[in-house]
């Protein structure tokens, strides 16, 4: 279970990005976080996985308070949190298999990772995950030779190699073309179902959020103003979530419509 209580984060004094945010998710669910640029979506995920440290509040994952951890305890907690990035964060000169196996570095240690000395069970799991994401034929291909959608599939497999207790995804479809974007969302939604894995995903595309998510959170200026099912996300709610950013909302809705038209 992930439980966030009164989370506060500022990058500049007097300009909070997250303002007393509360969130609990305790079972298999794909939860989409929507909001305009600067609403605090990415900051929320980065606080959860401790890429940035919150100023105050509490983040508990299965009973462990993450904000108080440091050193080895913090490293151990990060192994439990898978992350899919918008910019993929792959090592381009390494192969697909090497990038996926890097998801086990928190378990095998630095030197074993450097010399590619992974246990056979890890290698077998990497093969299985690459088959699941449709890349078994690219095992030995360098990542800089892949398309954007293929690179994001590698990122998904790498995150799952950690055997995480929760999966975070920071706008994983934002850099992809419409059809590829849909396929990546289908993949993430399928993984959620198959592995009984809770997922928190930031989306710039409202139609994707309503299509694939079980739960939608709406952030505005660091405050969660909406928490409900997709069918509860009315136009009135969207106007409140994107107040002052109507052009951003129109663009997102237009992109979503184009994606479905292409299929």
- In DSSP terms, 3 is beta-bridged to 24, 60
Residue 72's Cα: distance from chain center in Å? 23
How far is residue 178's CA from residue 185's CA, in Å, rounded to a whole number? Answer: 11
Q: What is the pLDDT of residue 26?
A: 75
Q: What is the pLDDT of residue 29?
A: 85
How far is residue 20's CA from residue 32's CA, in Å, rounded to a whole number? Answer: 19
pTM of the model: 0.90
Q: What is the pLDDT of residue 107?
A: 80
Q: What is the pLDDT of residue 192?
A: 86
Stated as kind and residue range, the H or E segment containing 200 is strand 199-202
Contact between 216 and 210 (Cβ < 8 Å): yes
Measure Cα distances from 235 to 36, 52, 243, 249 in Å.
15, 33, 12, 11
Contact between 242 and 56 (Cβ < 8 Å): no
Output the six-digit token pair for 245.
């950013």
CATH superfamily of 1-8+29-68+167-222: P-loop containing nucleotide triphosphate hydrolases (3.40.50.300)
For the chain, 263 residues long, give each residue's pLDDT as a single digit of tens.
899 999 999 999 888 999 999 999 877 789 999 999 889 999 999 999 999 999 999 999 999 999 999 998 998 888 899 999 999 999 999 999 999 999 998 787 655 655 577 899 999 999 999 999 999 999 999 999 999 999 999 999 999 999 999 999 999 998 899 999 999 999 999 988 888 899 999 998 999 999 999 999 999 999 999 999 999 999 999 999 998 766 666 666 665 554 444 43
How far is residue 256's CA from residue 206's CA, in Å, rounded to a whole number? Answer: 7
The residues spanned by each domain of the chain are 1-8+29-68+167-222, 89-164
């Amino acid at each position: 279970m992930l439980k966030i209580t009164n989370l506060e984060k500022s990058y500049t004094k007097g300009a909070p990005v997250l303002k007393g945010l509360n969130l609990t998710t305790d079972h298999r669910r794909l939860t989409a976080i929507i909001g305009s640029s600067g609403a605090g979506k990415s900051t929320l995920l980065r606080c959860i996985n401790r890429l940035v440290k919150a100023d105050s509040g509490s983040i508990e994952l299965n009973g462990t308070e993450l904000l108080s951890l440091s050193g080895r305890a913090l490293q151990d907690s990060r192994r439990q949190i898978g992350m899919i990035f918008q910019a993929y964060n792959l090592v381009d000169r390494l192969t697909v298999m090497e990038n996926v196996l890097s998801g086990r570095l928190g378990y095998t240690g630095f030197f074993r990772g450097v010399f590619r000395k992974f246990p056979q069970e890890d290698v077998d799991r990497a093969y299985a995950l690459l088959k699941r994401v449709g890349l078994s034929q690219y095992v030995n291909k360098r990542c800089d030779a892949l398309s954007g959608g293929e690179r994001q599939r590698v990122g998904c497999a790498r995150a799952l190699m950690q055997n995480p207790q929760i999966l975070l995804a920071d706008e994983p479809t934002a850099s992809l073309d419409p059809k590829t974007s849909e396929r990546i969302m289908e993949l993430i939604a399928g993984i959620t179902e198959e592995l009984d894995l809770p997922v928190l995903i930031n989306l710039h595309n409202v139609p994707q959020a309503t299509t694939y998510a079980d739960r939608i959170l709406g952030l505005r200026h660091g405050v969660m103003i909406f928490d409900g099912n997709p069918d509860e996300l009315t136009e009135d709610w969207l106007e409140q979530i994107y107040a002052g950013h109507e052009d951003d909302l129109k663009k997102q809705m237009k992109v979503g419509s184009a994606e479905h038209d292409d299929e």
